[in-house]
Structure 1
Amino acid sequence: MNLRRSGSFGNGWIGWYRQNSDGLTQWRAGWDRFFAAGPARIQPALQVASGGFFGATVSVEAGQPWFAGVGAGRTNLRPYVNLNFDPNDMVMASFGHRSDHDQVQLLLIADNRQHPDQRHLHLNWKTDRDGGEKLTWDILAKQGDVDGEHIRRVGASVTYDWPRWSLRAAWDPKVNFTPQNMLRLSVASRF
């Protein structure tokens, strides 16, 4: 479960995760915001979670309509149930194009701490639709070691946003480079 608020302060959220198979639970909270700095856009982000986890990332991108970016993230290595595709201890490079209604981006994310062989390559496409609706596709190619075996897998997510509701389906094979595959379905309401 996740509760998110956006405003002039950026985006803040608080969430709770429970894994049915072993009863693992974790509370978490975070914040991120874009800042303009001349021709660059800077996005810092912070995350905290029960169990003493703390993480921070920063990314910088520049250019319009073509853009390029770099970023990095670091944690205190405490246990954290990572619900996105990518590692938290990482370096990142991106390249893409924005128009009035579309954005296409290629994004490479590499673990640079505990598992430097792990890489994610994303192809992300966002398009605005009529009536304030939005469609987002994210195709993921991942490679790295899982329990001593080098894997290459493809995952994906698709999100459709209406003005009030949002629906997302995501397939993440070998989620967070573990033996598990994960299918996530999310429904959200804006209020």
Structure 2
Amino acid sequence: MNLRRSGDFGNAWIGWYGEDHGGLTQWRAGWDRFFDVGPLRVQPSVQVASGGFRGGSLYAEAGDTWFVGAGAGRTNLRPYVNLNFDPNDMVMLAAGHRTDGQQVQVILVADNREHPDQRHLHLNWKVDRGDGEKLTFDVLAKRGDVDGERIRRLGASVTYDWPRWSLRAAWDPKVNFTAQDMLRLSVAARW
């Protein structure tokens, strides 16, 4: 479960994760926001979670139609259920093109702390369909070690946003570089 609020302050969220049959549970909260700093757009983020987890990241991007970006993230290495594709202790490079309500972007995310062999390469395409509707495709190529086995897998997500609702389906093989594959379905409402 996730409750998210966006406004002039940026994006803030609080959420809860739980597994069936007495598995892991975790409360989590976070914040991020883009700031214009001269020719750059800069996005800091912070996350906290029960169990003592603390993390943060910083991303900077330059350019309007054509753009490039770089970022890094760090945590205190406490347990954290990561529900996105990418590691939190990482470096990131991005490049893309925005025009006429569309954006195409290539993003490389590399773990640079505990598992430096782990890499994610994303191809992300966003389309503004008008009337507050958006369509996003994200294709993921992942490689790295999982329990001593070298893997290469493809994952993907598709998101459709309406003005009031959002629907996402995501396939994440070897989620967070574990033996587990994950299919996630998400429905969100805005108010």
TM range (shorter): over 0.9
**Correspondence for 2:168:** 168
Displacement after TM superposition at 1:23 (Å): 2.3
List per-residue Cα deviations over 1:141-178 (Å, max 9, x = no partner): 00000000000000000000000000000000000000
**Correspondence for 1:37:** 37
List per-residue Cα deviations over 1:83-130 (Å, max 9, x = no partner): 000000000000000113000000000000000000000000000003
Alignment partners' CA distance in 1, 2:59 and 2:77: 20
Residues 1:22 and 1:118: Cα distance change in structure 2 (over 3 Å): farther
State the aligned residue count: 191
TM-score normalised per structure 1: 0.99
Q: Which structure 2 residues correspond to residues 59-70 of structure 1 after superposition, within 5 A?
A: 59-70=59-70
**Correspondence for 1:140:** 140
User: Following TM superposition, where does structure 1 have runs of at least 4 consecutive aligned residues deviating by more than 6 angstroms?
Assistant: none
Alignment partners' CA distance in 1, 2:42 and 2:55: 17
Residues 1:72 and 1:182: Cα distance change in structure 2 (over 3 Å): same
| AA in 2 matched with 1:107 | I
Alignment partners' CA distance in 2, 1:138 and 1:158: 7
Alignment partners' CA distance in 2, 1:152 and 1:53: 29
Q: Secondary structure at the match of 2:78?
A: coil
**Correspondence for 2:149:** 149
Alignment partners' CA distance in 2, 1:126 and 1:25: 33
**Correspondence for 1:115:** 115
**Correspondence for 1:181:** 181
**Correspondence for 1:87:** 87
CA RMSD of aligned residues (A): 0.7
Alignment partners' CA distance in 2, 1:123 and 1:38: 28
| AA in 2 matched with 1:141 | A
Q: Secondary structure at the match of 1:176?
A: helix
Alignment partners' CA distance in 2, 1:190 and 1:133: 13
**Correspondence for 2:71:** 71
The gaps in structure 2 that reach 5 residues or longer are: none
Alignment partners' CA distance in 2, 1:44 and 1:131: 30
Displacement after TM superposition at 1:39 (Å): 1.0
Most deviating of 116-125 and 22-31: 22-31
Displacement after TM superposition at 1:21 (Å): 4.5
**Correspondence for 1:56:** 56
Displacement after TM superposition at 1:22 (Å): 4.0
Q: Secondary structure at the match of 2:131?
A: helix
Alignment partners' CA distance in 2, 1:21 and 1:139: 32
| AA in 2 matched with 1:59 | Y
